[in-house]
A and B are shown apart, each in its own frame.
Chain A
């Protein structure tokens, strides 16, 4: 019942997004803009792989920040949150939105990563298994933390600037680990060398989702 309801919420989010293009168009433009700024600023210099690994995650972080808060804010602004609250329990709302956010940010990160690999020739990944698994787990972590934060922000009066402010300290361990794992992938480390990073990323996502499930009810039923 809960599982089915969350699936339908997920589908609704998707169809709704494709019809309204609230986030999608703006997000893609955001990616194009930030990537071109990076390209302009690099110019003919050749920055180190470390710096390039860092900027990749800066682009992913800020695109996530600009896109993921929509899910709950739109619900609150259009007055449909009451409808949803009377339709199903909070767990299915949370999980539906979480899955949607995860798919959205994963697709976005993959697009960013591909564009990054193609456009910046100094950035060459040697161990692709580490690189793509980091993208995948990093997206999971980003989605897990931003879903509950988006729910919090949707209830606040000023929404615009609040999201990155609240998200940054919470996402910092995730981002630092992602940057570290990306560095390992460009350094050509063996897959086994990055196991510890993956453990951190997986446990971060699990801890975030579990905590969110416990507290989401308080935010949603406020």
Chain B
């Protein structure tokens, strides 16, 4: 298990003259599941993007360290796996090709091939692996996103709406992964689903935070 800490200090995001959220402060260590909740439009997805380093905060700082090595913001990408409705895979490629592309571009070794097969089986899309993603249903796409996010075995897994578009089997697979991730590293997820929230060690409500002002 990699030692990992994610700290945020007084993050404020102002976008297009609107304050999305103010002074978000938290610290997360390995072995925890951290849930972000809040009503629609409270900035859950924005916070998720800031954590992943694809959006910079207006004020405040965010820091990630893996094995006591500080990672320079925003170059978090090698340590993060993200599943989000804003993230899509290449439609003109098959599931297998998408995963191959991710493997190559991340510079992962050949053991990844076996792991990617396992992941495809785990999420129940192994028999569809040669199909182009454009022919997938939205649930299958969501499953593939999990395979893509987990391929490099990230110490930090970030999920935005983990259960969206999934059927019971898919939800089951995702729940198992969430439990596993909690043991292996850090799990952060943004949701309003009561069933999802029971996995969390800490629940952070950003909607609450803003309504107080």
Contact = CB atoms under 8 A, between A and B. Distances in A.
In the complex, A touching B, CB below 8 Å? yes
B105 A83 contact: no
A175 B82 CA distance: 44
A1 interface: yes
A20 B92 contact: yes
Interface stretch (B73-81, B169-177, B199-207): B73-81
Given A20-B92, A78-B88, A89 B75 contact: yes
Contacts of A214: none
Given A78-B91, A79-B87, A4 B107 contact: yes
A88 B105 contact: yes
Nearest to A217: B74
B72 to A, nearest CB: 11
Given A8-B105, A9-B105, A221-B74, A86 B54 contact: yes
Contacts, number: 60
Interface of B: 52, 54, 56, 74-75, 77, 80, 82, 84, 86-93, 101-102, 104-107, 148
Given A4-B107, A221-B74, 16 more contacts: A8-B104, A9-B105, A12-B90, A16-B90, A16-B93, A78-B88, A78-B90, A78-B91, A79-B88, A80-B88, A80-B89, A83-B89, A86-B54, A86-B87, A87-B102, A88-B77
Nearest to B149: A86
A1 B108 CA distance: 11
A82 B105 contact: no
Interface string A69-110: 000000000111011011111001000000000000000000
9 contacts: A78-B90, A79-B88, A80-B87, A83-B87, A86-B54, A86-B82, A87-B77, A87-B105, A88-B106
